[in-house]
């Protein structure tokens, strides 16, 4: 049984940067907390906890030391409040997320009604909404656009881990309903590369294993993309979730991973599949 890893898989620059910043903060000797999980990967978050980097559910739980802003970003008011409390703030917001935040703020300032393509309850989207003034319209698809738009001057940004197809669908639905439509494609290049590579992989193999947090939006979307091309797709976090029955009669297994999945986790899954094949 042959195991093939997607050309683009695993941690992106933004995640690597966030992990590095949190690790450096842990070495400073201060008490360190992240505001929410730093990234959507439970195993990586647990490793940070073992190094002394805790997770706070709210700012009220952080009484001193260093606060690390998660890669998904936050409401700018949260950072201001943390600094007012005397906390040392390390901003690990992904640069692509920061770009989406900045464009949302600019669109609001220029008088556009802001539409955000993404998941309303995702922390990244919540942060983008805050930068857009709090009254942005969040849609997951063209079907969820409201019957009445706040204005016929509309500006669009997109959650960094969404698909280009989803963005195009929403933009196509908005075009006949607007006098002016300004669109910022804020999907990050790493996401686009991973999605394209996952689709190509799924077409070429018998089974696909997608590695990454079950709470990771970008990993979940990789699994969805793979299922559009292949009926045998499994989303797991660790090798312990693997069922050997998945590979009965299989010649080629494809492995891909979300942008919040460290390389050692991918290697562990690949090794586990290879042991099944050797058995």
Rounded average pLDDT per 10-residue block, the chain, 279 residues: 96 94 91 94 94 94 94 94 96 96 98 96 95 93 95 96 94 97 95 95 98 93 96 97 95 96 96 89
CATH number for 53: 3.40.50.11270
- Give the C-alpha separation, 232 to 252, whole Å: 12
Select from 139, 120, 140 the least CA-distant residue to 130. Answer: 120
- Give the C-alpha separation, 259 to 221, whole Å: 11
State both tokens at 231.
């009926």
210 sits in which H/E element: strand 207-211
Residue-level pLDDT at 28: 85
Residue-level pLDDT at 122: 92
Residue-level pLDDT at 90: 97
Based on the domain organization, do 236 and 203 belong to the same domain? yes
Based on the domain organization, do 243 and 169 belong to the same domain? no
State both tokens at 257.
């991973």
CB 112 within 8 Å of CB 139: no
CB 9 within 8 Å of CB 227: no
Residue ending a domain, among 94, 123, 147, is 94
Based on the domain organization, do 271 and 195 belong to the same domain? yes
Residue ending a domain, among 94, 115, 135, is 94
Select from 130, 132, 113, 122 the least CA-distant residue to 174. Answer: 113
Residue-level pLDDT at 133: 87
Provide the residue range defining the domain that includes 64: 13-94
Based on the domain organization, do 61 and 107 belong to the same domain? no
Residue ending a domain, among 167, 187, 207, is 187
- Give the C-alpha separation, 119 to 67, whole Å: 25
Residue 208: burial class (beta carbons within 10 Å; 0-12, 13-18, 19+): buried
Based on the domain organization, do 88 and 19 belong to the same domain? yes
Based on the domain organization, do 132 and 183 belong to the same domain? yes
Active site residues: 124
Based on the domain organization, do 196 and 273 belong to the same domain? yes
Based on the domain organization, do 103 and 182 belong to the same domain? yes
Based on the domain organization, do 100 and 89 belong to the same domain? no
Residue-level pLDDT at 217: 87
- Give the C-alpha separation, 254 to 89, whole Å: 40
CATH number for 195: 3.40.1010.20
Residue-level pLDDT at 279: 67
Domain count, the chain: 3
């Amino acid at each position: 049984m042959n195991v093939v890893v997607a050309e683009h898989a695993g941690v992106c620059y933004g995640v690597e940067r966030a992990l590095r910043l949190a690790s450096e903060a842990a070495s400073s000797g201060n008490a360190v907390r992240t505001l929410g999980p730093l990234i959507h990967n439970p195993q990586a978050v647990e490793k940070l906890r073992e190094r002394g980097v805790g997770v706070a559910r709210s700012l009220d739980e952080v009484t001193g030391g260093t606060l690390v802003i998660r890669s998904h970003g936050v409401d700018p008011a949260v950072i201001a409040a943390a600094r007012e409390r005397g906390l040392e703030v390390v901003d690990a917001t992904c640069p692509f997320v920061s770009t989406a935040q900045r464009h949302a703020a600019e669109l609001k300032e220029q008088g556009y009604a802001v539409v955000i393509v993404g998941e309303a309850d995702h922390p990244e989207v919540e942060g983008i909404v805050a930068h857009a003034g709090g009254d942005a319209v969040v849609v997951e698809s063209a079907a969820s656009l409201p019957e009445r738009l706040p204005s016929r001057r509309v500006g669009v940004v997109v959650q960094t881990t969404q698909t280009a197809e989803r963005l195009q669908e929403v933009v196509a639905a908005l075009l006949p309903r607007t006098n002016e439509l300004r669109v910022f494609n804020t999907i990050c290049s790493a996401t686009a590369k991973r999605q394209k590579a996952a689709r190509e992989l799924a077409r070429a193999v018998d089974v696909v294993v997608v590695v990454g947090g079950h709470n990771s939006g970008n990993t979940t979307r990789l699994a969805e993309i793979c299922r559009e091309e292949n009926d045998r797709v499994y989303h797991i976090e660790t090798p312990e979730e693997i069922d050997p029955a998945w590979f009965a009669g299989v010649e080629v297994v494809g492995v891909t991973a979300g942008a919040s999945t460290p390389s050692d986790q991918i290697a562990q899954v690949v090794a586990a599949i290879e042991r099944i094949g050797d058995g």
